[in-house]
Structure 1
């Protein structure tokens, strides 16, 4: 065989193997990192994500997404030739090729859990994981008629379950609770994610992407709220160490539980999404990703060293917005820019930010 023909065949095989993964639909659950507009459906005037400059880069108008443009879930949908999953609460949408159930402020644990502990002041939505799965279960009969049809349809869909947990921990931290109490609740939060995954598997889900939480000690919001005069409170990249430890511990517990879940349900394909290291790569080497303004300062905000001011938040009077969001990793101090979301999605599809990568057999 001619070398040129052999190379051509090898390239074709690689290309086919790489692109073999396909889905009929994509369903997303989560919080503000995934919300495509569910929070603002009923009362858009209440929320800043319904105001300019949110959405300025891609949609050229606010959509309820907590970014200047597309989210990581939008890029995943595009990679599989699917439409951007529309918000599930918005009427008149076609959900046959996917739906986005995520809502800003979404938690793993129900509102009553936080209420009983007196830490519910930062929880402003009832869109917990259980609630979002209930929305899916209510929608499911309209997507597939018979049990066999539903089994085929759901089994050929991609389920992205998270990021979940960030708002649960924030409820404790913003209420001034100790790190020991926060850490003690991590297993309960992770177990809540696992129960949600089992519920989706019971509904026929086969391929599930499960993100860990981000290094919150690197968020401009946290850096502003909990800034310290003690240099030992920071790592060499400028992040608050003790808050990152919370996220790291959560992710370690989650990965252990996901390994157990994969063994219990061998017919499934459970993919851990490593949001933590994705974000840390932005922090450690921002120039590699084109973030000439770094990862510890928000593109849109109210001034100061991190461009974060709770009295002049992004979208409020007196806030400012950068000219080129693609040079920032952080959009508003707690959410990513479209540029950062694109890198994360690419890392989920091809590696190294998913184990295994979504586009692997």
Structure 2
């Protein structure tokens, strides 16, 4: 009897181990598209202290350490993604097409509105998908072979939109005018996803935009003396979070449309916004004892957010907090490795991707 119990326990543990391995290794490659929230080195514009926590040197990542996409790669058993501009690199396990400052929309959209001076990277959704399409044959060969290859790959398309709205807001446009960008932005993201499906993608994650009203940069530059302009529970700027919410509502509609059009394809929404909102409401729940609205790497600015546009992170006059893990915000607009780890956990295991990436129901 004792032997039977031992054998049973061994079989059960072996089953759970094999299930865990199959879930974490079911993808042969990971491909990412987006902006500074996920760029791993296509644009390198800053030095230390960027990268200080994990890498010990700057890598092009806009954080003190790893990004959400790095933790996703680790979670599914793949290496950190190389930037697609890397020389003499193998991309057989994936590549990163994200660029710092990349908008979803092309330059023409902003040029027509007199806003093109605020852009310096030509890396829209369609530009990034173009790069992917050109690289694909060197990874997997003929179109049918690439479709087979992509059927075992995970693609993350976004976050896109933050830089489109930044361009309008920093260009002095009203929040009402900038909100009219949202239908164009979300349509561009959907068109990018549809192009990737046409190439063979069958498992796609589409992240929302963040709670931009909780960014120390916005809270400092657009501070208000009216308490009604701020959420009573979060302290975040309502009008900017309303813009994020509107974008995400339209993005969900686009995803719903794509799901109906491509029922055999898994298209999942990743909710950056909900997690960011929860950080702001209850930072201590996640160990952020310095709160969600105070920058770690920055300088005393106009108010309480430790952000100063003239002494940004890695510039003279800025300093780094003693422990980045106690902060959500790294530099006023990007997050710390600690925040990225928590967000990635919500994508890998739920509830902020449904079904979660590591779920038997999606394998």
- TM-score, normalised with respect to structure 2: 0.93
1 CA distance for matches of 2:8 and 2:255?
Answer: 41
1 CA distance for matches of 2:98 and 2:77?
Answer: 21
Partner of 2:258: 261
Is residue 24 from structure 1 mapped to residue 28 from structure 2 by the alignment?
yes
SS of residue in 2 equivalent to 1:88? coil
Partner of 1:43: none
Partner of 1:158: 154
SS of residue in 2 equivalent to 1:210? strand
2 CA distance for matches of 1:154 and 1:160?
Answer: 13
Partner of 2:333: 334
Give 1:114-133 correspondences, 5 Å limit.
114-133=110-129
Is residue 110 from structure 1 mapped to residue 109 from structure 2 by the alignment?
no
The 3 A distance-change label for structure 1 pair 150 and 178 is same
Long gaps (5+) in structure 1 = 41-46
Partner of 1:223: 219
Tell me, yes or no, if the aligned pair for 2:155 and 2:203 is still in contact at 8 Å.
yes
Partner of 1:344: 343
Give 1:146-185 correspondences, 5 Å limit.
146-185=142-181
Partner of 1:97: 93
State the Cα distance separating 1:109 from its structure 2 match: 0.4
State the Cα distance separating 1:157 from its structure 2 match: 0.7
Q: Which of 212, 236, 239 is the aligned partner of 2:236?
A: 239
1 CA distance for matches of 2:329 and 2:39?
Answer: 17
State the Cα distance separating 1:149 from its structure 2 match: 2.0
Is residue 36 from structure 1 mapped to residue 40 from structure 2 by the alignment?
yes
2 CA distance for matches of 1:20 and 1:279?
Answer: 31
Tell me, yes or no, if the aligned pair for 1:303 and 1:320 is still in contact at 8 Å.
no
State the Cα distance separating 1:15 from its structure 2 match: 5.6
Tell me, yes or no, if the aligned pair for 1:19 and 1:359 is still in contact at 8 Å.
no
Is residue 282 from structure 1 mapped to residue 279 from structure 2 by the alignment?
yes
2 CA distance for matches of 1:173 and 1:222?
Answer: 10
State the Cα distance separating 1:172 from its structure 2 match: 1.3
SS of residue in 2 equivalent to 1:158? strand
Partner of 1:193: 189
